[in-house]
Structure 1
Amino acid sequence: MPLNRPKPKAGLSRLFRNTAAHRPQQEQAPSLVQVLEQQQQQQAQLAAAAAPAPAGPKDISVGTDAAFAPAAPAPVRHALRNVSEVRHFFRTNDVPIFFVGATPFNLLGLDRWVRNFSYISYYDGWDGAHPRLFSPAQKSERTFNSAEQINNWLLRNPEVRAFMSRRTPAGARPKVAMVFFDAETEGICAELGYDLILPAAGLREHLDSKIVTTRLGNEANAPSVPNVLTKVEDWPGLVAAAQAAGLGDELVVQTPYGDSGKTTFFICSEADWDRHKDQIIGQDIKVMRRINNRPVAVEAVLTRCGTVVGPFMTELTGYAELTPYRGGWCGNEMHPCVLEGGQRTRAVELVRRLGDRLAKEGYRGFFEVDLLVDTDNGEVYLGELNPRISGASAITNVTAGAYADVPLFLFHLLEFMDVDFELDVDEINQRWDELASADVWSQMIIKETSPIVEQLTATPRTGQYYLDASGALVFGRAALDWHQLQDESEAFFLRVYGPGDYRWKGADLGILVTKGRLQFDAGQNGTALTIRAQHLIKSLRAAYAGVALADADAPKDLPADGVK
């Protein structure tokens, strides 16, 4: 008999007898068979209560209760009228929702709020220990050239399909969310009976263009940095277009599509033009005046009730310690001084205007906006639109606003669930604005910066780390996410590639999330990483080891990045 099995209560058999003795005379007493069946039921309940908890990281808090909460006793019959009802709706949700991706990073921790929310991930940083994450045991021998290819492979995988089937009640249609998808993804979901709870791929691709974003912003009175939209074939043509628009001699040129600064070019001379012209000629381009700016990121959700605007964050960009790409995104910071009062009001207004214009295009749901703050005059401009879940989502979901209401992504889910709602978006935005100064969070995306191709033999573990008495970064314990970090002495690291995987220049090694700031204002030099940030980066890099591959042994096509 298990040592932790509770003894039956001493009065349990007497209860049966007393109940029978006090039953009215006209009611027939239970038979011996009925009494034995009652005793067996009681014993089964006691045994179930004594069963040991499933193994895995011990990371349980009030926020995790939604993952284990019972279903609602009855369907909601009226429109959800406030955030409290929204919170209860998701806490008792009985529709399976799956986030599919190379990693679960973008929405990690959302299962604390939403019952029946699971992750399907190609890379498993927990090696099977995360109770809400599924990763197929048999991985593909092919390499992937895009995140869309990874997601499509996962959806077709028989292990994944079997897992989703086990989690989906008969007659129900599972909901599927992801960061990157395409028309092929839509076809797979349609064939398998999944609801892809995202705007259409064609619409998203159309809106993803920097040229389209600029035009829509202008129409919505949400202007970008002074610019001209044009097409040029040579250096004189670029100069003429810039002079006609009064943009000056220092220019920033962007092509319609690009990632992490790879298609943004700084051109001040004909030599600069010659360096980049092959990537510019023949394309529609945006030519901007070069300003001294501070980039700011914000996520929002376009709902039928209006646009809910999340917290504002500064970006970590171009740090050689984190990324090999000049101007490449490599993290975010959320803190009280991201925007001053007037700038914050202006920024919220720009995002909501853009949201209203996107609604006319048929868009709904989650999107991210990059804003530019002119550090010389304080003006706020529209930058870029990312019509998707973004890398900033991770810390959006741990803000004071999220805990006062619900995480921002839940408003996106509402748009695609079978439920009506009537919410006061103005009130929600005002409350989130008032709580904006309550949190300081940061995250860093650590990429491989050396020109190497190696097969990894050792990697740091996913979990919670802390700085010990000597200042060394030490693994503290396994953890599911970063929600329980207390102060700047702690950090959460999510490993992407593990032993046996490859690393190469530009590969995403992992993500570190911590409280406190990781960069500071360095005056004329812009921003710089703090000493603490540099120490964290060096400590984690030191935990990686690999074996260099000869050219003949190296994979011909390297995998797609694990984090976006």
Structure 2
Amino acid sequence: MLLRNIEDARALLGSLPGTLVGVGVTAFGRVVPSRLVDDYRALVLRRTADLSILRRCMEVFCLEEEAGSLLGLDGLNSYSLLAHSRTRSYLKGLPDPKILFLYQSYPELEELAREEGWLLIGNRASLRLRLSSRAFFDNLVLEEGLPGLRGGIYPFSSLVQQGYGHWANYLGEKFVLQLPEVRQGGGRGTFFIRSEADYRKVTERLRDGTWRGTTLETISLHEYREGVSVSLVACVTHSGVLVSGLQRQMVDLPLPGSVWENGIFCGHSWGEIEWAPDLQAEAERQAVLIGRRFGREGYRGILGIDFLLDHETGRLYPLEVNPRLTGALPMLSLMHLSRGVVPLEVPHLLEFLGIPYEVEEGLARERYLEPLKGGHLLLFRGSEEEGFREQPLRAGLYERDFRSEGFRWEKEAMQFGGAAPHRQFIVIDGPPVGETAPAGSEDPLFRLCRILFPVPPVGPDGSLIREAEAAARWVRAGIIR
């Protein structure tokens, strides 16, 4: 059957036997299939203020609601959620087969799935870990003839044994230090070295050979270039590689909060500038090469590719590949759905389910490259010295209140509407509720919520527009005291 539009997607997924269940830390990230599959539901760890909104379109089992505090849980990921006795009991009551739609898989989760008879929608953990390694990526860039940044991977001991001058002679006065063993993503384990003083500070911080609870064996050092951080989403299918349009990544935004690392992912913006056709074509060319290589390695489905658009030369450098669902989702897919475009989660699901389908590649390419407008901004806790409010801000649609120079809550919603959507934003994917110090909130990068905007939240230069910055500060003040 051809996959051309939303109706085709519903028909294909409607042939699915059993129960499709989205699994995640929060419910918003797994909402897209609810628009396409009857009786779709989500299993999530955290109790968040948006659950009443999300429950309008899908059933949600929330472990924090069922079991209380998550503070005693060993790890906060899909495995700890699915291994819990209350979650397993809930799943036992659903029709077989149980099909679990994951952000990414873990070795221990795969063993649990074998015991329980679950089908996992996600690439094997061993494959994901190999393909996400810095060494594999550096080799891929070389072997596929992609533009590469000067640098390499070195033993962790060389961080202390070699001084700043040694690396500056090879990479330039500014360079990027990354910790390959730290795999959480979003900029964790990344440091921009701009001077010898920066190098000394980072070396001292890492002297004990651990970071974020991970033992360090190697360091990745590459030259630093000024440019724009951009990305795209690709989907590796049996017949080719589907590619989204380019999107600006917002990184290291000057919002409240103390974070030691650099390159911190803060969201995406669509439509603040029009990407040149030749740039989009080059991004697509590189993405197809990368996707085909991943396909030859046995990979299926969605992956994310981060690029640097060099200010000086205009060259597009691939920086890393994330073999999993990406941070652009579900915002990108919700925008696609609003325009009648099949979200990339659909071919992703079909590839793992083995449901026969074909894509009209020309039509798909044209639709995925259509320009979009909007954005989403992630808010983080920042300083641990700041506590959580007992009554956090409500989730839903807000609009600027010109009388108070603030914002007022309008209604529970995930979509914009009314006469002036440009004055609106949506608080979703949070805020956390139920505890004054949620499990995991000691991390400065603990996510408070996501703010959706109907217009690009940054200007052409990448700086937050005044309205978006005001909204972000106001929302954060409603969660953190």
Normalised TM-score (structure 2): 0.85
- Per-residue deviation, residues 462-481 of structure 1 (Å, max 9, x unmatched): 212222343431111112x3
- 2:383 maps to 1:450: yes
SS at structure 1 position matched to 2:273: coil
Question: Is 1:274 matched with 2:200?
Answer: yes
Residue equivalent to 1:414 = 350
Task: List aligned pairs for 1:174-323, cutoff 5 A.
Answer: 174-231=98-155, 232-234=158-160, 236=162, 243=169, 247-258=171-182, 259-277=185-203, 279=206, 283-321=217-255, 323=257
Give the AA of the match of 2:101: A
Q: Secondary structure at the match of 2:334?
A: coil
Partner of 1:395: 331
Q: 1:424 to 1:407 in 2, by over 3 A?
A: same
Match of 1:23 in 2: none
Correspondence for 1:510 among 422, 434, 449 = 449
Please identify, of 465-474 and 139-148, the stretch whose mean Cα deviation from structure 2 is larger: 139-148
Report % sequence identity.
20
Confirm or deny that 1:534 pairs with 2:461. no
Q: Judge which range, 502-511 or 286-295, deviates more.
A: 502-511
Asked if structure 2 preserves the Cα contact closer than 8 Å seen for 1:307 and 1:425, the reply is: no
- 1:138 paired to 2:77: no
The answer to whether residue 351 in structure 2 is matched with residue 428 in structure 1 is no
1:185 deviation in Å? 0.9
The alpha-carbon distance between structure 1 residues 140 and 457, as it changes in their structure 2 partners (threshold 3 A), is: closer
The 1:260/1:420 distance shift into structure 2, 3 A limit, reads same
**TM-aligned CA deviation for residue 540 of structure 1:** 1.3
Secondary structure at the residue paired with 1:294?
strand
Please give the alpha-carbon distance, in whole angstroms, between the structure 2 residues aligned to 1:417 and 1:462: 34
SS in 1 for 2:244: strand
Match of 1:497 in 2: 432
The one-letter code sitting in structure 1 at the alignment partner of 2:469 is: Q
Q: 1:466 corresponds to which residue?
A: 399
Look up the match of 1:329. Answer: 265
1:358 maps to a residue whose letter is F
With over 3 angstroms needed to count, the CA separation of the structure-2 counterparts of 1:402 and 1:308, relative to structure 1, is: farther
Distance (whole Å) between structure 2 residues aligned to residue 160 and residue 389 of structure 1 = 22
Provide the C-alpha distance between the structure 1 equivalents of 2:134 and 2:18, rounded to a whole number of angstroms: 36
What's the counterpart of residue 519 of structure 1?
458
SS in 2 for 1:383: strand
For residues 199 and 85 of structure 2, the distance between their equivalents in structure 1, rounded to whole angstroms, comes to 50
Aligned residues: 453
**Aligned partners of 2:135 and 2:387: how far apart in 1?**
39
8 A contact 2:250–2:268 mirrored in 1: yes
Distance across 2 between alignment mates of 1:104 and 1:141: 16
Kindly tell me: are residues 239 and 154 of structure 1, through their superposed partners in 2, closer, same or farther at Cα, counting changes over 3 Å?
Answer: same
Q: Which secondary structure state, in structure 1, belongs to the residue aligned with residue 245 of structure 2?
A: strand
Considering only aligned residues, what root-mean-square deviation do their CA atoms show, in Å?
A: 2.8
Higher relative contact order by CA 8 Å / sep ≥ 6: 1 or 2? 2
Distance apart, 1:205 and its partner CA:
1.3
* Residue of structure 2 equivalent to 1:85: 8
The verdict on how the C-alpha distance between 1:115 and 1:315 changes in structure 2, with shifts beyond 3 A counting, is same
Which residue is 1:367 aligned to?
Answer: 303
**2:393·2:431 contact (CA, 8 Å) conserved in 1?**
no
Task: Tell me the residue number matched to 1:52.
Answer: none
Partner of 1:561: none
Contact 1:402 1:408 in 2 (8 A): no
Q: Which moved more, 1:121-130 or 1:231-240?
A: 231-240
Say whether the 8 Å CA contact 1:174–1:194 is kept in structure 2.
Answer: yes
The answer on whether the counterparts of 2:4 and 2:364 sit within 8 Å (CA) in structure 1 is no
Query: Which has the greater radius of gyration?
Result: 1
